[in-house]
Amino acid sequence: FTCENSHTFCRDHTVGGREVVENQIDEDGEGIDPYEIPSKYCPCCMFDKVADFDIVAYFLKEKGMTREEVASMFKDRFKTYDEFNKYTRAE
């Protein structure tokens, strides 16, 4: 399925279950277009699943930073990408 906000997700991750959407009838008496699923059935729009790029956009906005500023912080703090990976994946 693809929602009205262009998120793509499999039928099994539909909010409320795939049957909810598959059994819906729109105002014209026709089934819902699988490429324009209402956002209320989308796991991304309902924040059941949050895309990485949405997390990044949110934190950049919250911190008042740009991608360039964060990239500069990476360069200042880490010598290599491997070093960055070890830091970000450490438990």
Beta bridge partners of 8: 2
* Tens digits of residue pLDDT in 28-43: 667 778 888 889 999 9
Spatial separation of the C-alpha atoms in residues 37 and 57, rounded to whole Å: 24
Q: Quick one: pLDDT at residue 29?
A: 61
**Nearest Cα to Cα of residue 71 among 60, 87, 58, 86:** 60
* Tens digits of residue pLDDT in 28-85: 667 778 888 889 999 999 999 999 999 999 999 999 999 999 999 999 999 999 999 9
Spatial separation of the C-alpha atoms in residues 44 and 10, rounded to whole Å: 12
